[in-house]
């Protein structure tokens, strides 16, 4: 495959600094071996997240200068509403300042104690908002999603048998809606096929259960459908998006991903009564319905970003850039999760560092080494993030996979930056036997990975 060169040129530059190894050694020690505690200025290539880290276009920045900051009825709101309506098709569009507020408004309105929300896999904020509002969050993705070596074009698909069994088990009255996360972030940015969306819709129609989308990376999902699903090669991304959303009753969206902006989100939905209830809550916690916690200029930037993200040259470059990074690593035998998804490459830390037991946080050890050796910030998705003590037995429970996610911000880094990342990881792989495990010295009672402090396991005695 010929790698597409950047479909943009650079008009404004933001200098980034190459620190020395001594500096990084000092900083990572100070941070308690936790990359969340590092100053961003001391990072050369920052792959912590693709959320809110996109570069805006000249067209979006020009739109920011046309912000109408009227309290009510800003012209930017109408542009935003028209654009979202045109792509997503939902009747009511409710702006929020980011995705999790959209989730909070939706779930605090519809959930009652004892209800369940099925999803392919819940993203962490979605799960938290479901559970906080008294619901149970169920992950019903196909089993293939859990095999890191298996190549499958739509690893984000819902398992329809599991979904039907869940509906039969809990009953329709306990399932206010079903969600499909496109692409499936927690499962590696894997897409959902149109066929699976259509079949899910058909199944839910038999029970009268609404279908919602967690639409953060909808354009990337549409690109995969166009590339991989028979019958979609001749359709535009917008046509694919319109068909997809027509199967749904609503969506939550973080515009910090495929909105190509640094802040923003929205809820789209068709139900008048539900929209009215959510709008009442919106006014209480976010703002008036024509700005919802955002400035007029932010709404303008989202409207323009949503049009730009449908551009196929952009999407082709975007998906190829991520895939190309995966290929450079795979060609050198570096263990990665396959196939490469839309927004990130995931290193398989258990295979990268087989000498470090899960109790010593191999994915965190790899994340720390990557910063120390190369100034690259990735994020651990393994036993530091998900490990916990079983409340009954008191024993540590470890997650299935130990991953290091390299999330690629949109339109920010060049292909040469990706070559630098690949070469750094390949170098690190050659010295992998020198990487040692870690142990916790501080952990918070919840979401410990954000603030944890760790130290290197020094002696071979401790390794035993």
Residues that bind ligand PLP (CB under 6 A): 51, 98-100, 123, 125-126, 181, 185, 214, 216, 254, 256-257, 265
Nearest approach in angstroms of CB 184 to ligand PLP is 8
Structure tokens, 189: 């940015």
Which residues, 6+ apart, have CB-to-CB distance to 78 below 8 Å? none
For the CA atoms of 217, 222, 223, 226, the dihedral, rounded to the nearest 10 degrees, stands at 170
The CA distances from residue 459 to 361, 438, 462, in Å, are: 16, 11, 5
User: Measured between alpha carbons, how far is 425 from 56 in angstroms, rounded to an integer?
Assistant: 29
β pairing state of 453-456 and 265-269? unpaired
Residue 127 CB, nearest approach to ligand PLP (Å): 10
Q: Which is nearer to ligand PLP, 257 or 350 (CB)?
A: 257
For residue 137, list its beta bridge partners. 117
CA dist 423 and 86 (Å) reads 43
Taking the least distance from each CB to ligand PLP, the nearer of 259 and 375 is: 259
Closest approach of Cβ 156 to ligand PLP, in Å? 11
Q: Which two tokens stand for residue 225?
A: 């459908």
The DSSP symbol for 189 reads S
Q: How far is the CB of 254 from ligand PLP (least distance, A)?
A: 3
In the complex, minimum distance from the CB of residue 36 to ligand PLP, in angstroms, rounded to a whole number: 15
Task: Tell me the closest approach of the beta carbon of residue 110 to ligand PLP, in angstroms.
Answer: 17
If the CB atoms of residues 185 and 348 are measured against ligand PLP, the closer one turns out to be: 185
Nearer to ligand PLP, 245 or 361 (CB): 245
Which is closer to ligand PLP, CB of 107 or CB of 361? 107
Give the residue with the Cβ less far from ligand PLP, 137 or 356.
Answer: 137
Rounded to the nearest whole angstrom, what is the least distance from the CB of residue 183 to ligand PLP in the complex?
8
Compute the distance between CA of residue 16 and CA of residue 404 in angstroms, rounded to an integer: 23
- Report whether the peptide linkage leading into residue 113 is cis, meaning its omega lies within 30 degrees of zero: no
Least Cβ distance, residue 101 to ligand PLP (angstroms): 7
Q: Which is nearer to ligand PLP, 105 or 142 (CB)?
A: 105
Pick 125 or 367: Cβ nearer ligand PLP: 125
Residue with smaller CB distance to ligand PLP, 210 or 265: 265
Q: How far is the CB of 170 from ligand PLP (least distance, A)?
A: 23
> Which of 130/368 has CB closer to ligand PLP?
130
Compute the distance between CA of residue 53 and CA of residue 60 in angstroms, rounded to an integer.
15
* 23: Cα separation from own chain's centroid: 31
| Residues ≥6 apart with Cβ < 8 Å to 10 | none
Tell whether omega for the bond before 138 is within 30 degrees of 0, i.e. cis: no
User: What are 138's two structure tokens?
Assistant: 């169920």
Instruction: Copy the structure tokens of residue 371.
Output: 């910063």
Query: Is residue 223 within a helix (H) or strand (E), and if so which, with residue range?
Result: helix 218-228
Q: What is the DSSP string of 44-93?
A: SEE-S-SSS-PPPPHHHHHHHTT----SSS-HHHHHHHHHHHHHH--SEE
Cβ at position 432, least distance to ligand PLP in Å: 30
Residue nearest to ligand PLP (CB): 99
């Amino acid at each position: 495959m010929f790698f597409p060169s950047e479909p943009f040129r650079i008009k404004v530059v933001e200098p980034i600094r190459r620190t020395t190894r001594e500096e990084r050694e000092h900083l990572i020690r100070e941070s308690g071996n936790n990359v969340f505690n590092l100053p961003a200025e001391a990072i050369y290539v920052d792959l912590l997240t693709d959320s809110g880290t996109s570069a805006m276009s000249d067209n979006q920045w020009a739109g920011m200068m046309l912000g109408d900051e009227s309290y009510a009825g800003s012209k930017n709101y109408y542009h935003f509403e028209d654009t979202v309506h045109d792509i997503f098709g939902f009747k009511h569009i409710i702006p929020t300042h980011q995705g999790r507020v959209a989730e909070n408004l939706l779930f605090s309105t519809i959930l009652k104690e004892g209800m369940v929300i099925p999803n392919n896999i819940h993203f962490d904020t979605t799960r938290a908002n479901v559970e906080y509002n008294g619901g149970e969050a169920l992950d019903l993705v196909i089993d293939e999603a859990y095999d890191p070596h298996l190549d499958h074009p739509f690893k984000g698909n819902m398992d329809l048998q599991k979904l039907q069994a869940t509906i039969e088990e809990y009953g329709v009255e306990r399932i206010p809606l079903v969600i499909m996360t496109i692409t499936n972030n927690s499962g590696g940015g894997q897409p959902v096929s149109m066929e699976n969306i259509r079949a899910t819709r058909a199944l839910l129609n038999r029970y009268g259960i609404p279908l919602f989308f967690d639409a953060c990376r909808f354009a990337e999902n549409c690109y995969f459908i166009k590339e991989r699903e028979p019958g979609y090669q001749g359709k535009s991304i917008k046509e694919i998006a319109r068909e997809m959303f027509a199967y749904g009753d609503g969506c939550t969206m973080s515009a910090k991903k495929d909105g190509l902006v640094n802040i923003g989100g929205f809820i789209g939905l068709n139900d008048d009564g539900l929209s009215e209830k959510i709008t009442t809550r919106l006014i209480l916690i976010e703002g008036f319905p024509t700005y919802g916690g955002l400035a007029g200029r932010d709404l303008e930037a989202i409207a323009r970003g949503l049009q730009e993200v449908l551009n196929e040259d952009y999407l082709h470059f975007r998906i190829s850039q991520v895939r190309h990074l995966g290929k450079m690593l795979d060609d050198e035998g570096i263990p990665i999760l396959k196939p490469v998804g839309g927004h990130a490459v995931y290193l398989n830390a258990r295979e990268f560092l087989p000498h470090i037991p899960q109790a010593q946080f191999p994915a965190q050890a790899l994340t720390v080494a990557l910063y120390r050796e190369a100034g690259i910030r990735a994020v651990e998705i393994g036993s530091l993030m998900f490990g916990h003590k079983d409340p009954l037995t008191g024993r540590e429970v470890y997650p299935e996979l130990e991953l290091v996610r390299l999330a690629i911000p949109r339109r920010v880094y060049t292909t040469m930056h990706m070559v630098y990342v690949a070469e750094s990881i390949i170098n690190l792989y050659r010295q992998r036997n020198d990487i040692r495990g870690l142990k916790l010295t501080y952990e918070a009672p919840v979401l410990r990975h954000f603030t944890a402090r760790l130290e290197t396991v020094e002696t071979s005695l401790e390794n035993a």
